[in-house]
Amino acid sequence: MAATKLRLTELDALGQAAECLRTLAHPHRLRMVQMLLQGEFTVGELADACELPSAMASEHLRLMQRCGFLASAKEGRKVYYRVAEPHLKNILKCVEERFGVGLAR
């Protein structure tokens, strides 16, 4: 049997992927991404949906922004967040297909 050439990603790149997946691997962050895939939201709106204080929601958003998952834009005194990484849609689709999606609160 002839050996087939495996297609493998560089370990450094996989290390970066693992770090970003660790950042995403939190129920509140997944909820925020789920919302942000459907539109732009403020920290307060995301915090309310996750039943978190705004300061804690801001920290979650900062971590996801650092990985390049999110972007933000200031409008007056409000900051709106949106998804910057289009592949998040595929990741959330896998999560929703495996664990279900329904109406929360």
Q: What is the pLDDT along the chain (105 residues), one digit of tens a residue?
A: 566 899 999 999 999 999 999 999 999 999 999 999 999 999 999 999 999 999 999 999 999 999 999 999 999 999 999 999 999 999 999 999 999 876 655
Q: Give the C-alpha separation, 64 to 51, whole Å.
A: 18
Count of Cβ atoms closer than 10 Å to residue 9 Cβ: 9
**Distance, C-alpha 44 to centroid of its chain:** 17
Taking a C-beta distance cutoff of 8 angstroms, is the pair 21, 52 a contact?
no
- Residue ranges of domains in the chain: 18-97
Architecture of domain 18-97 in CATH? Answer: Orthogonal Bundle (1.10)
Helix, strand and coil in the chain, % to nearest 5: 55, 15, 30
